[in-house]
A and B are shown apart, each in its own frame.
Chain A
Amino acid sequence: MTSGDLMALMPLIILTGGSVLVLLAGVIKPGGYLYELAGALIASGMLWGLLIPAYAVMPALAVTPYSRFFALFLGSAGLISLLLAAGYNRRRGIAGEEYPATILFALAGMGAACAATNLLMLFLGLEAFTFAFYILVAIKRGSATGGEAGMKYLLNGTLSAAVLAMGMALVYTARGTLRLAELADAGASPEPLFLAGGCLILLGMAFKLSLVPAHLWTADVYQGAPAPVTALLSTASKGASLAALLLLLPLFGAWRGLHDILWLLALLSMVAGNMAALVQGNLKRMLAWSSVGQMGYVAVALVAAPAGGVKAAVFYLVVYAAAGIAAFGAISILSGEEELDAIEAWRGLGYRNPLAGAALAVALFSLAGIPPAAGFMGKFAVFAAALRGGESTLAIVGILSALVSVFFYLRIVVVMYMKPSEFPADPVRKLNVAEIIALLVPTIVMLLLGVYPQPLLKLLEEILL
């Protein structure tokens, strides 16, 4: 390893080392400035990645513009969720150094997953951050819903990890190598054993992205986990999984079956996710089902990958992540000792807490794909790619399910702004600076990308080659 490699790897090293550092600091001085320390570590890792354009290719990892982009994107999601968690955890009595340390560890895993050049590192990265989430989901000790969610996630997650590992083993048996580049070059007509492995890998990735039929864990886990954890789980974990999936797609070459499998996943996810979201009475559960639908749109873009869909998929995911962070962020901030996640509890909150209300409203408009929020540009990119790729059925089903989604997203806006609150005298907590930043940043990103997405689109064009 040269010094140049070290420079390029530094953000990952900061995150991994930082995770240990925070754990140690917690032992030495319990209840110290652990969130601040973790936040500073993430920020310094991101700054390093942003300012020092060092690239390196090593046996298992390659720091490329691609991995740098994703590391920055996932890091910002992690940082915001840490800002959200600081106050939230204090109010709900989640103490200890394990929370910030685990967040750092999760981000390190995500960074490894999108920089991987062989299957083993990819697996390690994916499972590292999934493992971190097993802890984070159940971090509130004594919480029945949290424990249930953690158990469900763990059982489902280990199953998917097993499927993923089995798939990779089959691929290795068939081709005799784990390196992604060699696997992709190996030939246009894949043999059955390789395909069996590839399909198992796809299934494992479908679990991570909550694509139907591997989505069943989503609603329970999103609902049961603390809101700042859900904010990260629904955005950064999806982002890292997409980054990993994009690294895996070239393996299949021009195999037509890939198109058919993704096509089916996309169709089922859009329809099932949006339909199920219609009947939810719990805000977090509704957002969970809707995220299944949202991932369906990402899958639509992947189906149209030959027609420029990859760019659309990543763009859509960034936009979705901004909305997810803002929405779950608003929930985190307004939750006191109990989570504020029953839809009816949001009556009139748009006026009682204008900033949190506005952030959630913009996020919902964005998720519904209504301009000027960025979700519209995301849907525009996805549908343009789908039609260019000749996928008119998916486009039409997508548009109609988007219409369904407008209804349940607007329902929340209606409750927030158009129904009088039951307890008008309810005192409203003033937001602190960290919370204001955590709400403002994703909201501004959504509005900016909604009216001027060109810089991000251009950047994606460059890094996705």
Chain B
Amino acid sequence: MSGNYPLLTILIFLPLAGSLLLVPLWDRVSLARPVAFGAAAVELALAGWLYASWRGLADVPTKLPGYLLLEDSPWIPAFGIRYTLGLDGISLLMVMLTAFTFCVALAVSWKAITERTTLFLALLLVMESGIMGVFLSLDLALFYLFWEIMLIPMFFLIGVWGHGRRIYSTIKFFLFTMFGSLLMLLAIIALHLLHARQSGVSTFALPDLLHTQLHFDTQLWLFAAFFLAFAIKFPLFPLHTWLPDAHTDAPTAGSVVLAGLLLKTGSYGLIRFGYPLFPLAAQALTPLLYTLALLGIFYASLVAFAQEDMKRLIAYSSIGHMGYVAIGIAAWQPVALSGSILQMASHGVTTGALFCMIGILDERAHTRDIAAFGGVWGKMPLWSFFFLIFSLASMGVPGLNSFVGEFLILAGTFKQSSLVVALSFVGIVLPLIYMVRLLQEVLFQKERGPLALTDLDPRELVILAALLLLNIWVGVHPAPLLDLIHLPVQLLTGGAP
């Protein structure tokens, strides 16, 4: 039945349609919220249905090995651009993460956003469309288009509904990411032209471009441009400086989407495009990626320890966690790569949850300063319970989701470079230090100031419970997800399926 419906197109454009549906409801906020959430929920249901039926889909072979669904039609023949979408296990995992994260983002901003609410909801939905497009495009030009489109809503989200130095942060965020992407655009066009010169076929399709014969020097230049774009999104040290600012000043939903999804587009791009297109260059630059990742892990952890703002602390911890993802990709080995992909999803859930929780606290206390809190457990036991669990997850405690990914990454990388693994083990201890400090200062200790704190309401409870269930499920029983990405990972790393 899936052959009859353009499911991937629906997946991309359903949120956009939802945002158009909001236009007549512009002044009726009480109606706009359920409509927006409904659109995101239907999207999540669709993603869930795809997951439930992926084994059935996998039995029907498509034109490309490893892909569950493909869509392909001409779009701009004058440029050689096609509308090519593909869904494999990795994309499906990311699609599920995206659909879920946007439900969380919409739910968590239900009461927090009171001004220009409809515009906010519409922008979130537009961004969901853009991110879905990034995870599903198999045509490089199409990919680039979505890659840029998803930035515009985020630019407004931070700039209009943010806090603090929101304008500075949003411009910094936009310029950093544009800088990388514009050079990648040149590299994409150059690759297209090189391929056209070799084969006479003018195309941006990934499966065709994979066959382009490139000299090592050419690969190095093109890979450098791709790498820069992805490393800024990742973000890898020293290109990370936009992230703490953007995270700190963004509204809660913005932070959740930034941490949960925008960072993942960087690692996804490296896995889907960077490494497969330029294998020689990628191999040559592996030590660089290792080094940057390790530097990021150590640097971010040390800086996180010194933070006074809870959101900024979590933002820096993100840089550290994404460092592990980078190590797993650099190893380019089935076990480590599976770990990286799983870690991408886990980090989205865990860090997203932490940002939600800080947002919830901020709504009540109107401050995120660690020094302002203390003894929160006495006042908000439920909140504190969830915060403890998610913090433990962030530290990589076994039984919760991050542990699985980090373990696989290190186990896989061990075969490639034991030195890197040894250093990363040291790095694993560091989050313990700053997270324990955070927990101790906020949850325990004595109350420092009189803050009117009320515990979670049912809406917040449901959001956090959903995040926690997902967290534990991945932590205890990751096998179904590993099955899902097994074949694509094998195909990517060149091993036998």
Contact of B159 among A400, A414, A457 (CB under 8 A): A414
Question: Whole-angstrom distance between the alpha carbons of A365 and B175 in the complex?
Answer: 13
Chain A residue, CB-CB nearest to B183: A399
Residues in A neighbouring B420, C-beta threshold 8 A: none
B79: A residues at CB distance < 8 A: 380-381, 384, 457
| Residue B116 lies at the interface, judged by CB distance under 8 Å to chain A | yes
The CA of A419 and the CA of B141, in the complex, are separated in Å by: 34
Stretch in A22-30, A196-204, A403-411 touching the partner:
A403-411
Scoring A376, A407, A414 by chain B CB atoms within 10 A of each residue's CB, the highest score goes to A414
Chain B residues with CB below 8 A from A190, complex form = none
Q: Chain A 374-401 against B: per-residue CB contact (8 Å), 1 yes, 0 no?
A: 0011001101100110001001100110
Number of A-B contacts (CB under 8 A): 78
Q: How many residues of B contact A (CB 8 A)?
A: 32
Contact with A407, one of B152, B167, B171 (Cβ below 8 angstroms): B171
B145 proximity list for chain A (CB < 8 A): 371-372, 376
Q: Which A residues touch B77, using CB under 8 A?
A: 454
Distance between Cα atoms of A403 and B178 in the complex (Å): 7
Given A384-B193, A418-B166, is A461 in contact with B78 using a C-beta cutoff of 8 Å? yes
Residue of B nearest to A458 (CB): B78
**A349-383 vs B: 1/0 string, CB under 8 Å?**
00100000000000001000011100011001101
Query: 1/0 per residue B151-179: CB within 8 Å of A?
Result: 11001100110000011001100110011
**A262 at the A/B interface (Cβ < 8 Å)?**
no
Q: Is the CB of B189 within 8 A of A387?
A: yes
Contact A370 B148 (CB under 8 A): yes
| A381 CA / B189 CA spacing, docked (Å) | 10
By secondary structure, the A interface counts as: helix
The reply to whether the CB of B45 lies closer than 8 angstroms to some CB of chain A is no
Would you call B472 an interface residue if the criterion is a C-beta within 8 Å of the partner chain's C-beta atoms?
Answer: no
Minimum CB–CB distance from A210 to chain B (whole Å) comes to 24
Cβ of A402 under 8 Å from chain B? yes
For A418-453 the 0/1 string (1 means CB < 8 A from B) is: 110000000000000000000000000000000011
Asked whether A417 is an interface residue with its Cβ less than 8 Å from the other chain, the reply is yes
Q: Which residues of B contact A381 (CB under 8 A)?
A: 79
Known: A383-B185, A388-B193. A403 touches B148 (CB 8 A): no
Contact of A371 among B149, B159, B160, B174 (CB under 8 A): B149
Is B190 interfacial (CB-CB < 8 Å)? yes
Q: With both chains docked as a complex, state the minimum distance between the C-beta of A213 and any C-beta of chain B, in angstroms.
A: 27
A contact residues around B167 at 8 Å (CB): 414, 418-419
- Set B156, B159, B185: member contacting A399, Cβ < 8 A: B185
Indicate which residue in B155, B156, B170, B186 contacts A387 across the interface (CB closer than 8 Å).
B186
Q: Which residues of A are found within 8 Å of B160, using beta-carbon distances? A: 417-418
Q: Which residue in B75, B78, B152 is a CB contact (below 8 Å) of A370?
A: B152
| A-B contact list, 28 entries, CB within 8 Å | A370-B148, A371-B145, A372-B149, A376-B145, A377-B76, A380-B141, A380-B185, A380-B189, A381-B79, A383-B185, A384-B79, A384-B193, A387-B193, A396-B186, A407-B175, A410-B155, A410-B174, A414-B170, A414-B171, A417-B156, A418-B159, A418-B160, A419-B167, A452-B75, A454-B75, A457-B76, A458-B78, A461-B78
Give me the interface of B with A, judged by CB distance under 8 Å. Answer: 75-79, 116, 141, 145, 148-149, 151-152, 155-156, 159-160, 166-167, 170-171, 174-175, 178-179, 182-183, 185-186, 189-190, 192-193
Known: A383-B186, A392-B190, A418-B166. 16 other contacts (CB 8 A): A365-B152, A370-B178, A376-B148, A380-B141, A384-B79, A396-B186, A399-B182, A399-B186, A406-B174, A410-B174, A414-B159, A414-B170, A417-B160, A452-B76, A457-B76, A457-B78
